[in-house]
Structure 1
Amino acid sequence: MNIQSKMKTRDAKNNPVTAVLVSVLVMFLLSCLFLLLLAALLYKFDLSESAVKVGIVVIYIVSGVIGGFFMGKIMKTQKFLWGFAAGAIYFCILFLISVLVKQGVSMELPKVATTFILCAASGMAGGMIS
């Protein structure tokens, strides 16, 4: 018998923590790149506050869909749940960073809930299309 056939390989299904970390890292890298692009557009075109808010929402959605897509491709089963998990973890990290930077919660509950739904639903959508 071959040694390789005896050895059990660890893949993403056996270690979903690694898959979640990779997906969330991809989401944050994309968010950083898109935020830099938004900042450049703000500088160049003097965008209004409402345009910046729309841009931030679009960044949440695009990052969530792509991260959920990666999560679905890695996990291969129950893709929508894994995409939802990646989006929810992405939101939790964003929320934690926001609380630490602002030294408290300054957003109203409906805005927090809306942002959570955007992140989690876009992650789930990405998982479903993977």
Structure 2
Amino acid sequence: MEKKLRKAPGKGQGESKPAVSLLSVLKILLAMYMVTGIMLLILSAMLYRMQLSESVVSVGIVLIYVISGLLGGFLCGKVMKRKRFIWGMVMGASYFLILALGSVVFQKGINMEISRFVTTLVLCTASGMIGGMAS
């Protein structure tokens, strides 16, 4: 007697959930970095035109981190549907880790105080989590 195996409803052949999730995460990270790039261009144009102070530029950069984290968390929450806040945290932390890795590679080390480094990590992760919760 042979038993027939049934397909699970909603699952297509050759489609695996982790690959779809990884591809979605990579697309969202790309969107986050595109938004970051556009906002940094706007900030640099404002710096050139308005002669902004260093403190204003620093606040602008932090706002860019937060906005990108919110966007990534929100988009990831929409895609993943479950455990949105965790996926948002993952997006924010991934965003930060890629930024830190880029800093290490291009500047031959991390060029900031440890407290500022940790604060930036917390801001990126928390904003991603909030974005995921808002989705």
Query: How high is the TM-score relative to the length of structure 2?
Result: 0.87
User: Structure 1 residues 12, 23: closer, same or farther in 2, change over 3 A?
Assistant: farther
Gaps of 5+ in 1: none
Q: How many Å apart are 1:15 and its aligned residue?
A: 2.4
**Counterpart for residue 74 of structure 1:** 79
Mapped to 2, the partners of 1:11 and 1:58 lie a distance apart of 36
Contact 1:91/1:116, CA 8 A, preserved across alignment: yes
What is aligned with 1:56?
A: 61
Structure 2 portions without partners, runs of 5+: 1-8
Cα distance in structure 2, aligned partners of 1:22 and 1:73: 13
Q: What secondary structure sits across from 1:30 in the alignment?
A: helix
Indicate which of 25, 40, 52 corresponds to 1:35.
40
1:24-77 alpha-carbon deviations (Å, 9 max, x no partner): 111100000000000010011000000000000000000100111000000000
**1:9-20 matches, cutoff 5 A:** 10=15, 15-20=20-25
CA distance, structure 2, for counterparts of residue 11 and residue 43 of structure 1: 48
Deviations along 1:81-122, one digit per CA (max 9) or x if unpaired, are 001000100000000001111101221211110000010100
Tell me how many residue pairs correspond in the alignment: 126
Work out whether residues 69 and 123 of structure 1, in 8 Å CA contact, stay in contact via their aligned partners in 2.
yes
The amino acid of 1:50's aligned partner reads S
1:96–1:15 CA distance, 2 compared to 1 (3 A): same
Residue 117 of structure 2 aligns to a residue whose secondary structure is: helix
The amino acid that maps onto 2:20 is N
Q: Which amino acid aligns with 2:123?
A: L
Aligned to 2:6: none
| Offset at residue 7 of structure 1 (A) | 6.4
The alignment yields a C-alpha RMSD, in angstroms, of 1.9
Runs of 4+ in 1 over 6 A off after TM superposition: 11-14
**Which of 83, 87, 92 matches 2:92?**
87
* Greater Cα radius of gyration, structure 1 or 2: 2
2:33 is the alignment partner of 1:8? no
